[in-house]
Amino acid sequence: MSFKRPLILVSNDDGIAAPGLHHLVSLMREFGEVVVVAPDSPQSGMGHAITVGDTLRLEKVNIFDGLLAYECSGTPADCVKLAKHYVLKDRTPDLVVSGINHGSNSSVSVLYSGTMSAAIEAAIEGLPAIGFSLCDYSHEADFSHTFDWIRKIVRQALEQGIPKHVALNVNFPHSKHAPLKGIRWCRQAKARWQENFDERYDPTGRRYFWLIGDFINEDTGDDTDVWALEHGYVSIVPCKFDMTDYDALRSLRSWQLD
């Protein structure tokens, strides 16, 4: 009996030239047949945006030796949609992975993350999905301490499966925390960004604004992704796209609206 290698779709939000993507592609080649569909330019902070009412371009690239790979003019969610319904329209990926992102996607950042939006789009389609992120925004970030952990997580995902419509949000501490202490299954920390807009002027004197801010962690729990990362652990948060607050739903039914 012949053994069929898993089909793994790889995407990201930092763009097809990002080092994190190339590391992830290299790791996934150890597990199965790899197809890459990634943005042609950085799409960080795009969240779950999709392209509507505008053109989408998809071009084959020869960046990865021997792999079917495309760059897409759209968002990370666009990439997964095109991969599922066009590039792989007659096949179903056994796993979709996104990353490795340059920067953390823990806590509330998951809502803004293009990396996780690619994974969540896959989960919406009923595909097992994982988003990988490293808490280092540098283009020259050291990813090497994440490789064995990624292998472990992907191996378990392929062997044990991921619950349907769930995407795993995996974050790695900065390499300064290496060797890492282990993996923690976590909940999303209750935190927020305190935004500020720096008012500036371009060379012609026209005013513009630059978004800056601080991450405010209001959660003291030791079971959160932020706690795990700060203490040298890999954090994994199972995420789903149903954003219903069921406690609030039960409470709000008492409103007199009839």
E strand map for 93-252: 95-102, 129-134, 167-172, 182-185, 191-201, 207-217, 233-239
Query: Which pLDDT belongs to residue 3?
Result: 63
Contact predicate 122/80, CB 8 Å:
yes
**Would residue 161 count as lying in a domain?**
yes
Question: 101 a known binding residue?
Answer: yes
Distance CA 87, CA 169 (A): 25
**Would residue 197 count as lying in a domain?**
no
Q: How far is CA 207 from CA 19, 200, 203, 223, in A?
A: 34, 6, 10, 44
Q: 232 is written with which tokens? A: 């040298």
Over residues 225-236, mean pLDDT? 96
**Would residue 207 count as lying in a domain?**
no
- 24-82 per-position pLDDT tens digit: 999 999 999 999 999 999 888 888 888 898 999 999 999 999 999 999 999 999 999 99
Residue 156 has pLDDT above 50, yes or no: yes
Over residues 182-193, mean pLDDT? 92
Residue 69 in 3-state DSSP?
strand
Please, which residues bridge with residue 38 across strands? 71
Residue 2 has pLDDT above 70, yes or no: no
Answer with the residue of higher pLDDT: 29 or 216: 29
Residue 207 in 3-state DSSP?
strand
Query: Which pLDDT belongs to residue 185?
Result: 98
Q: How far is CA 217 from CA 101, 181, 214, 220, 237, in A?
A: 21, 22, 10, 8, 17
Residue 246 has pLDDT above 70, yes or no: yes
With CA atoms as reference, report the closest residue to 167 among 232, 85, 226, 80.
80
Query: Sign of torsion, CA 250 166 21 152?
Result: positive
Query: Which pLDDT belongs to residue 93?
Result: 97
Over residues 169-180, mean pLDDT? 94
**Would residue 232 count as lying in a domain?**
yes
**Would residue 202 count as lying in a domain?**
no
With CA atoms as reference, report the closest residue to 70 among 80, 82, 61.
61
Over residues 171-191, mean pLDDT? 94
The domain total for the chain is 1
Residue 195 has pLDDT above 90, yes or no: no
Q: 37 is written with which tokens? A: 């569909």
Other beta carbons within 10 Å of 99: 32
**Would residue 101 count as lying in a domain?**
yes
Query: Which pLDDT belongs to residue 205?
Result: 93
Quickly tell me which residue has 């150890």 as its tokens.
Answer: 30
Q: Which of 32-41, 96-105, 187-196, 219-228 has the lowest mean pLDDT?
A: 187-196
Question: 44 a known binding residue?
Answer: yes
* Chain Cα centroid distance, residue 223: 21
Domain that holds residue 231: 7-189+221-252
pTM above 0.75, yes or no: yes
Question: 14 a known binding residue?
Answer: yes
**Would residue 144 count as lying in a domain?**
yes
Contact predicate 73/40, CB 8 Å:
yes
- 78-136 per-position pLDDT tens digit: 999 999 999 999 999 999 999 999 999 999 888 889 999 999 999 999 999 999 999 99
Q: What is the CATH number of the domain that holds 137?
A: 3.40.1210.10
E strand map for the chain: 7-11, 33-39, 58-60, 68-72, 95-102, 129-134, 167-172, 182-185, 191-201, 207-217, 233-239
pLDDT interval class at 1 (50, 70, 90): very low
Over residues 141-162, mean pLDDT? 97
**Would residue 92 count as lying in a domain?**
yes
Residue 168 has pLDDT above 70, yes or no: yes
